[in-house]
Amino acid sequence: MLSISAASATVAISMVFAFAEARSGFCEEAFVPYQVTEDVVYGHKDGLALTLDVLEPTEKPNHIGLILISSGSWNSRKSDVHEEEESRRQKDHWTQGLLKGGFTLFVVRHGSSPRYTVTEMTPDIQRSIRFVRANAARFGINPDQIGITSGSSGGHLALMAATQGDDGKQDSKDPIERVSSRTQAVVAWFPPTDFINWMGPNSYTLVSLTRPDLFERMLGKVNDLEEQLRAISPINFVSADSPPLLLIHGDADKTVPLHQSKLMKTKYEELGLKVKLLVQAGGGHSSWPGVMDQYPEIWSWFKNHLQ
């Protein structure tokens, strides 16, 4: 018996596509100075460059590298107006919170929906990890200890990449593809983790009846909806060697229900893996008052597992 109505399920999942912005939020702290290397090409796709920005704090860097996925509703964006991009970085709690902890950030952009489906985005993130690892000396980080983080759709892609990391494709002609795509620690903010059981068992069926276009946007042509949704649900890829995971979720999130992080935590615990869930009372989606208070625990999580 489902515990939710078709209307509530539709509203909940449709908001993921319509309103989730994984790199928004106002930074309440003083601006952290940093130096940036813009638009580093980490690969190509259909003749287009895949790019990332490298942000390094100018004060007390710890030389720990973190992949920060730029994604909102499975879209990556960057302004061509320098002043707009700088203003966004200075008000973005993901960027400022991590820079304040001394981390070197690799802000990764992926192929965006609707041109690319979710299954086509995960290889982009994995490619960026391989590239950063292969160029670790250039960026002054440890290639054996790389973390990954983001929120909402970015948190989902972080988990997809982290749970499907590999040791490299040794038969590839591309030297980057021969490098490992594994990460050693994850922090995911309010991520989708199980599209089948969104707010209750098999609740995806309610949405498929009322808003099938949502799944087409995520998946492209729908042939076997349940199987395709399982293929983009990171909970199905958790294994004994999945990296330590810190989840952060507000209990008033109307975009991605807290249920999603609870399911992932349970899966990790069943396998005896390191996991922790921080629940923010009254917290909504993307940001909340005092969001910077979460960062000391995030710094500790990454430092404990990456140093």
Q: From CA 285, how far away is CA 80, in angstroms rounded? A: 27
What is this structure's pTM?
Answer: 0.91
Q: From CA 53, how far away is CA 68, in angstroms rounded? A: 10
- Predicted pLDDT of residue 52: 98
pLDDT top residue among 40 and 291 = 40
Average the pLDDT over 149-154 and give the result.
96
Query: Which phi and psi (to 5°) does residue 66 adopt?
Result: -125, 130
Is residue 303 within 8 Å of 286, Cβ to Cβ?
A: no
pLDDT top residue among 276 and 221 = 276
H-run or E-run covering 248: strand 245-250
pLDDT top residue among 82 and 109 = 109
Is residue 67 within 8 Å of 106, Cβ to Cβ?
A: yes
- Predicted pLDDT of residue 282: 94
Q: From CA 67, how far away is CA 70, in angstroms rounded? A: 10
Q: From CA 278, how far away is CA 288, in angstroms rounded? A: 14
**Domains (range + CATH), the chain:** 6-306 (3.40.50.1820)
H-run or E-run covering 25: none
H-run or E-run covering 186: strand 185-189
Place of tokens 């009372």: 281
Per the prediction, the chain carries an average pLDDT of: 89
DSSP state of 281: T
% pLDDT > 90, the chain: 70
Question: Number of H helices and number of E strands within the chain?
Answer: 11, 8
Q: Could you read off the pLDDT of 259-275 as tens digits, one per residue?
A: 999 999 999 999 999 99
Does residue 276 have a pLDDT over 90? yes
- Predicted pLDDT of residue 145: 98
What is the token pair recorded at 134?
């292969």
Q: Could you read off the pLDDT of 83-101 as tens digits, one per residue?
A: 888 888 888 899 999 999 9
Q: Could you read off the pLDDT of 3-59 as tens digits, one per residue?
A: 444 444 444 454 444 333 444 444 455 788 999 999 999 999 999 999 999 999 999
Residues 6+ apart with CB under 8 A from 121: 74, 110, 111, 113, 157, 160
Residues 6+ apart with CB under 8 A from 81: none
Residue type, position 170, single letter: Q
**Sheet containing strand 65-70, strands side by side:** 34-45, 48-57, 104-109, 65-70, 146-151, 185-189, 245-250, 275-280
Q: From CA 211, how far away is CA 207, in angstroms rounded? A: 6
Is residue 80 within 8 Å of 88, Cβ to Cβ?
A: no
Residues 6+ apart with CB under 8 A from 17: 73, 74, 214, 217, 218
What is the token pair recorded at 115?
């041109």
Q: Model confidence at 192, in pLDDT bands (50, 70, 90)? A: very high
Q: Could you read off the pLDDT of 196-243 as tens digits, one per residue?
A: 999 889 988 877 666 767 788 788 888 899 999 999 999 999 999 999
Q: From CA 18, how far away is CA 20, in angstroms rounded? A: 6
Q: Which residues pair with 248 in a beta bridge?
A: 189, 278
